[in-house]
Every structure is written in structure tokens, then in C-alpha cells.
Amino acid sequence: MPSAWDDSRRAFGDAAAWFVRTSALVGDRWGRPGLGEWDVRALVGHTSRSLLTVEGYLERPAGSVGIRSAADYVRATRAIAAGPEVAARGRQAGVALGPDPAAAVAQVAARVVPLVDARDGTELLTTVAGGMRLADYLPTRTFELAVHTADLATALGLPLEVPAAVAAQALRLVADLAVADGRAGPLLLAATGRRELPAGWSVL
């Protein structure tokens, strides 16, 4: 019977594959508006960091666990995620993809997904928020890949065909955040068609 780690690895791999497929459809639209102040290249660059941070953090073992869940990681990094340096890093990451960003994304995924597949999830990583087990950190990367690949698909006018395993894990993190922050009620009502969410409402 598949373990939770097997499911998580599969979701991450599926999310990476969806990102690669969607990036391959950009064509000559890299300068098109992507998300907020990012063009498509910067959005893809930022999204690629969801793969690259896994690779980088695996090279930085932690001595202890400070962050014990994916939801705890999101809450711990909210201030960082809202900072102006995130937009700048996205642009820099887009430039770093070089003259063929789609091929670069495919190469990164082909390198990182096998690294994850070779682990058992117990590995300790030094993340920007502190020490974490890989099994707890990886769902945050699947979530980022899911949301930003959806952003990319939207920018390109493509259907939002989120792979099932990816959607399940991303929505699980959304639910965990809403419950932990006491915001499950509005989300539940909106998801069942009873009330629209207020403008700007977010679990992030």
C-alpha cells in the first residue's frame, strides 16, 4: 500500500511535469504579462525556484527540526513571501533560464525529481524558515508549483487542468491553513456555492 511519502513524491513529480508541459507551450510569449509585475518569463523563473530550492536545501542538512508541517512553513514565511525581494528574485530567476527557458525548466525538473525520488522523506533540510523534514517541506513546493502553473496557464489562456494528485495535496494545504487561522467558515461557504469570498481573501 502506498505511503504518505509515496503520495507526496508522486504529487511533486506530477506538479513538475505539469509545469514543464505548460512552459513548453509559451512559444514566443515570454514578455507577455504573467502575474502582477512579472512577465511570463519572470513567473516561470519564480516557479522554477520551487524545484531549485529542493535541490539546494538537500545540500544543506539541518541538525534539528524547527518547522514541523507544511502549514507551519507557510505561516513562518508569510513576511518573506510578501517582501519586494520575492519579485526581484523572480525576475532574476527568469533571466537565469537563458535563451530557451522552456528547455531550462525541463532540465531542472529532470534533475530534481529523481533527487526526491531517491529519498525517503526523513532527510533534514535547512530551509529559510528553519530545519524541516523533507516530507514536511515537499508539499509546500507542490503547492507553489500548482498555484503558479495555474497562474501560467491563465496568462497563456490555457485550461486549468491541474493533475489530480497535485490538486489534492495543494487543496489539503489550503484547508490546513484555513483551519489553523480560524478561517475555514468563509472557505467552506464559498466552496459550496453559498457565499463569495471577500475581495482579497487568501489563506497565504
pLDDT digits (tens, 9 = 90+) for 101-151: 999 999 999 999 999 999 999 999 999 999 999 999 999 999 999 999 999
- Mean pLDDT within 22-46: 97
Residue 105 lies in a domain: yes
Q: Look at residue 111 in the predicted model and tell me its pLDDT.
A: 97
CATH of the domain at 66: 1.20.120.450
Residue 86 lies in a domain: yes
The domain containing residue 155 runs over which residues?
4-163
Of 11, 25, 10, 13, give the one whose Cα is nearest residue 159. Answer: 25
Q: Look at residue 1 in the predicted model and tell me its pLDDT.
A: 63
Residue 128 lies in a domain: yes
Write down the mean pLDDT value for the chain.
Answer: 96
Beta bridge partners, 131, equal 126
How far is Cα 118 from Cα 58, in angstroms, rounded to an integer? 12
Q: Look at residue 84 in the predicted model and tell me its pLDDT.
A: 82
Residue 102 lies in a domain: yes
Beta bridge partners, 39, equal 33
Domain count, the chain: 1
Residue identified by cell 511533486 is 12
Predicted TM-score (pTM) of the model is: 0.95
List all residues 6 or more positions away from 140 whose beta carbon is below 8 Å from its beta carbon: 70, 73, 74, 173
The H or E element spanning position 35 is: strand 33-35
Residue 177 lies in a domain: no
Q: Look at residue 79 in the predicted model and tell me its pLDDT.
A: 87
Residue 191 lies in a domain: no
Report whether pLDDT(34) > 70.
yes
Report whether pLDDT(16) > 90.
yes
- Mean pLDDT within 147-174: 97
